[in-house]
Amino acid sequence: MNDSKNFVNHIRPRFVPEGALRVLYTFCLGGVSFLAFIVLGVTGLLLMFHYQPGDNAFSSILTISSVIPYGGVIRNLHYWAGQLMVVTVNLHMLRVVWTHSYKPPKQLNWLVGVGLLIFVLFLDFTGYLLIGSQESGAAATVAVNILGLIRLIGSGLAQILFGEPSVLSGSTLVVYVWHCVALPMVAFLLQLYHFWRVRRDGGVRPL
Ligand code: HEM
């Protein structure tokens, strides 16, 4: 059976191993993380209709919060889903450690999870920069300066990751594209692979 057919079969399996749905084993922390990711995608798309990266970022956020109908609700949902995801992903990782699920045959999925954690944290950080406030400007400056300490590639890397943020606002077009397009797309594909691997490695149950 080739892998693409296999993938479809794993999305809609004919049977699920007994015990795989026990809530007290996983606390559904991975599932809640994915739910938060979907909420972030939908609310993020709605925010994109009115958000302006760059110098106007902060004022466009104020407009979203106070002028655009339901803008405040959408922004709050996006913010809190982001906070929730950071918390649940970390708790999910602790659960995996607690149940020793990082051991063979699940070691590759553990590494995929580490990749996901990095994506989630980078999404959280770039989201914070996009607020365009003085605090986000300070955070961007610190990040750019830390990267600048890496010899030879540091300043180039900072340019690729953040563009040229000012001390007064961390919002740049570069950060915007990372946050709204590149990172979510790759994170989504990685999550699909993560779920597929869960089943390929024998499903969620004590080893
Ligand atoms: C975007 C972030 C993530 C999402 C959406 C996600 C989602 C899931 C889901 C739905 C499961 C099935 C069982 C459950 O719900 O606990 C799972 C299992 C697993 N996850 Fe994650 N996960 C994420 C991040 C991570 C991280 C950060 C790690 C570890 C570094 C990790 C490692 C694992 C492992 C090893 C399993 C298999 C567990 C077992 O079979 O008991 N995941 N993940």
- Tell me, yes or no, whether 10 lies in a domain: no
Residue 181, CA distances (Å) to 82, 92, 151, 207 in order: 16, 25, 29, 37
pLDDT, tens only, 98-136: 999 999 999 999 999 999 999 999 999 999 999 999 999
Cα angle: 31, vertex 33, 34; to 5 degrees = 65
Tell me if 36 sits within 8 A of 91, measured CB to CB.
Answer: no
Is 19 part of any domain?
A: no
Q: Which amino acids bring their CB within 6 angstroms of ligand 1?
A: 26, 28-31, 33-34, 89, 92-93, 96, 99, 101-102, 106, 109-110, 113-114, 116-117, 120, 191, 194, 198, 204
Residues 6+ apart with CB under 8 A from 14: none
Contact 43, 77 (CB under 8 A): yes
pLDDT digits (tens, 9 = 90+) for 156-176: 999 999 999 999 999 999 999
CATH code where residue 132 lies: 1.20.810.10
Residue 152 lies in a domain: yes
Q: Is 80 exceeded by the pLDDT of residue 26?
A: yes
In a domain, 68, yes or no: yes
Structural domains counted in the chain:
1
- For ligand 1, atom 39, name the residue with the nearest CA: 204
List, for residues 56-67, the tens digit of each pLDDT value.
Answer: 999 999 999 999
The answer as to whether 5 is a domain residue is no
For residue 116, being part of any structural domain is answered with yes
Q: Which domain holds residue 156?
A: 25-200
Name the DSSP class of 133. Answer: S
